[in-house]
Structure 1
Amino acid sequence: MFKPFSLFVGLRYTAAKRNNHFISFISLVSMLGLMLGVAALILVLSVMNGFDRELKDRILGMVPHASITGYDQPIEDWKSISSTVLDDPRVIGTAPFIHAQGMLTNAGQVRGVMVQGVDPEAEKAVSIVADHMLNGSWDTLKEANFGIVLGDLLARYLGVRMGDKVTLVLPEASISVAGVTPRLKRFTVVGIFSVGAELDSSLAYINIDDAAKIKRIPEGVEGIRLTLDDLFKAPLAVREIGSKLPGYYLISDWTRTHGNLFQAIQMEKKMIGLLLFLIVFVAAFNIVSTLVMVVTDKKSDIAILRTLGATPGMIMRIFMVQGVVIGFAGTLLGAGLGTLLALTVTDLVAWLESVLGVQFLSADVYFISYLPSQLNMSDVVLITASAMSISFLATLYPAWRASKTQPAEALRYE
């Protein structure tokens, strides 16, 4: 613990106006550098946490955690398989699907699309799309209506609105008297959804019975989607579930389709965090140069204190107090600024986009169209504690040098 004398003198030195304005400037720069480093680290980690959250909540809310499909043939007894799968406590929802890839056309506009044939009611258990409808209702996706639900960006590209007609072109050829022609079917737009992700530009939903007709599947479905209670355990869980099923099935999970994206975000978070932490490290060690100059400037004061009875330990603690005050003040200011920016950066970026008329994150390029942020207090506590610890360690050497000052040597030329 600091003695009252050391604390008193250290705080006086910190608050006093110095004759050497350069030292005061360096002290201010050290504090501002530490503040900006801590604030940047908190802000960037919060943004990376936001991307991580959006990936899990939106992208992985639209794609299945796992799926079970048949070997080159439909699954005819899919209801019994779905019932068996639901008996596993790790599975919280299942839904059948028929998948197709093709092109949607309207008024000369053509767009590649992934079409999912789904059971509207069962799909609610494995997808969030029903909760993100912009226009229309998810429940209007009924059998034999040949209705289609499009992503918001996909509808814009095609220039369609509610009630408009679009043509689905499948790459499977049909042989008729006119020769070999692609398989075509007209659909009516009955809904438009938006999840703010790249899937808005490439995904469409139709009723599973309509999908079976256009793909000529007389009975059964192509596969079953699964939603698990813990998506990070999906690879192991789906393998164990698949091994218990009668017959042979293909199993897959989200790590095969979007795992690289998730791993990239995690890696970027670690690397960016490390780089920004080095900035904090450098800023904290500016305190060393500040205190070294202060010690040199205060040699005569140190000598006088020593002659008045101050011990080397007291002198060391005086300058430790001064360095700790600079470091802690910069850290706390940075933590406050970083927290404020992390909580408001999404709105600030949206405001800048509206003012400048540009979109920084386009859904054509990035998997979401806005800058997310999620502030974790554990990150703030860890960053603040680390910066304070580095600041404290940075004071030890200059304070030790000050304690070794000899009064006779310091006062020789005074």
Structure 2
Amino acid sequence: MALCGTLRAHRGPRAGAGSAEAARSAADLPSDMFRPLELFIGLRYTRAKRRNHFISFISLVSMLGIAVGVTALIAVISVMNGFDKELRTRILGMVAHATISGVGEAVQDWPHAIAIAKANRHVLGAAPYVDGFALLQGMRRDGAGAAVRGVLPEMEPNVSDIDRKMVAGRLSDLKPGGYGIILGRELALQLGVDVGDKVIAVAANQVRATPVGAVPRLRRFTVVGIFEAGMEEYDSGLAVMHMQDAERLYDMNGPTGIRLRLDDMFRAYGVARDLADQLGQLYRVQDWMQGHANFFRAVSMEKKVMFIILSLIVAVAAFNLVSTLVMLVTDKQADIAILRTLGATPRSIMGVFMVQGLLVGLIGIALGVLFGVLLALNLEAIVKWIEHTFGVVFLSPDVYYISELPSDLHWRDVGWIASLSFLFSLLATIYPARRAARTEPAQALRYE
């Protein structure tokens, strides 16, 4: 036989008779030798019609288990990425990537600071602002506390998306000296006001001396707009007014600081550090991560925990290969003995069964990656179809600010998931392959 002659030439002068399947493998082997030999025999065994249909069934279950685990892992991680991206977009649409503030109450020479900031190639926009806190009183008797932000309407779109989040009125309706105010949607509902209504703003920690004593600083404002950012923090706790009106309300002679927008928000720390060195000790520079670090750290931790939990599902499915290969090794005892007598080394026998196990794992991984990517790319459409067909709502807009299930597929995550699944499959083949390699030919052929 070709296999016999080749093995004799490569691995020794042993000879022997083989089973029908081993003989067919030998007859089909080309005379110039298929290399590597383990891959050829392993693929031949995989393509061969199994006498034991239960082993085939277990192999199919293992393959489908790996595919389902990989699909679920890709889909869930993509959803976590989508939530993270959505939250970053909504939060960073209202806050600046970096802020420059003065050591005192106000930044005196803010045009000079803006000029220095814009000289940095990573800074796309800059705008001054006044930051404060006030008690707002509307049509209802109960008031509400809110953060107050004084802005310049012509410069604010350079650093935030509030002009694109207006549901009533326009940002340009804020005029210097007009004492107009823009409220978050939830804040306006809480105060019971709409566009055109009056709101009294009482500046926190601000009083003025009068003949009758200290009186809180307050102003009457007209609601000129309402915005909806999609985040509770801003929709129920932020009021926007013209910067000059905010300066009068808080008795300031300049803005609190300067807000910056960058070309890459993840460069915020480095840009902030460079600007702090250029501006000197009279200014303090902070990036967006300092104000929301705990929030995004919690989202990142949740993503890692979900990755670990779902990886265990893939691991369980992959280690089903152990039982499949153990039964296969038992079924192929005679074939293993024939190959050993023909000169195959224990290492070659081990390679044959590792090829079979890895092939099952690779097919499962390929199916999982295919279906996982398709699911992640079309998840929003699928969810909408399910909601429309069955009349269910997964994320009610009355409860959640994110009413759609976002998905953001990262190919790097797909690569990590596929590599991890392959590693699990490789580890699952080691024990059965070593068991096959320890088969003694004489003992296996005793009753053949």
Task: Give the TM-score band, short-chain normalised.
Answer: 0.7 to 0.9
Quick one: which of 288, 291, 308 aligns to 1:274?
308
1:258 is aligned to 292
- CA shift, 1:292, in A, is 0.6
| Alpha-carbon RMSD | 3.3
Aligned counterparts of 1:413 and 1:187: Cα–Cα separation in 2: 99
Aligned counterparts of 2:387 and 2:200: Cα–Cα separation in 1: 35
Contact 1:54 1:372 in 2 (8 A): yes
- 5+ unaligned residues in a row in structure 1: which ranges? none
2:168 is aligned to 135
Provide the TM-score with structure 1 as the length reference: 0.84
- CA shift, 1:39, in A, is 1.9
Aligned counterparts of 2:193 and 2:379: Cα–Cα separation in 1: 33
Q: Which amino acid aligns with 1:27?
A: S
Residues 197-223 of structure 1 deviation map (CA, whole Å, 9 limit, x = unaligned): 333332221111121222222x32221
Residues 99-126 of structure 1 deviation map (CA, whole Å, 9 limit, x = unaligned): 1212334332543321210001111111
Aligned counterparts of 2:188 and 2:372: Cα–Cα separation in 1: 39
- CA shift, 1:327, in A, is 0.8
- CA shift, 1:306, in A, is 6.2
Name the CA shift for 1:252/1:154 in 2 (closer, same or farther; >3 Å): same
Quick one: which of 364, 374, 378 aligns to 2:408?
374
Provide the TM-score with structure 2 as the length reference: 0.78
Contact 1:115 1:205 in 2 (8 A): yes
1:206 is aligned to 241
Residues 77-96 of structure 1 mapped to structure 2, 5 A cutoff: 77-96=109-128
Residues 256-335 of structure 1 mapped to structure 2, 5 A cutoff: 256-303=290-337, 309=342, 311=344, 315-335=349-369
- CA shift, 1:248, in A, is 1.8
Of stretches 241-250 and 75-84 in structure 1, the one that deviates more from structure 2 is: 241-250
Quick one: which of 217, 220, 228 aligns to 1:194?
228
Contact 2:50 2:56 in 1 (8 A): no
- CA shift, 1:256, in A, is 1.9
Aligned counterparts of 1:372 and 1:9: Cα–Cα separation in 2: 45
Contact 2:395 2:405 in 1 (8 A): no
Aligned counterparts of 1:106 and 1:17: Cα–Cα separation in 2: 82
1:39 is aligned to 71
Name the CA shift for 1:370/1:144 in 2 (closer, same or farther; >3 Å): farther
Aligned counterparts of 2:220 and 2:337: Cα–Cα separation in 1: 93
Aligned counterparts of 1:237 and 1:262: Cα–Cα separation in 2: 20
- CA shift, 1:246, in A, is 6.2
Q: Percent identity?
A: 46
Aligned counterparts of 2:149 and 2:81: Cα–Cα separation in 1: 30
Aligned counterparts of 1:27 and 1:167: Cα–Cα separation in 2: 73
- CA shift, 1:333, in A, is 1.9
What secondary structure does 1:381 align onto? Answer: helix
Residues 14-33 of structure 1 mapped to structure 2, 5 A cutoff: 16=50, 18-19=52-53, 21=54, 23-33=55-65
Contact 1:10 1:321 in 2 (8 A): no
Q: Which amino acid aligns with 1:58?
A: R
Contact 1:2 1:317 in 2 (8 A): no
- 5+ unaligned residues in a row in structure 2: which ranges? 1-34
Report which of the two structures shows the higher radius of gyration computed on alpha carbons: 2
Corresponding position: 1:237 with 2:271: yes
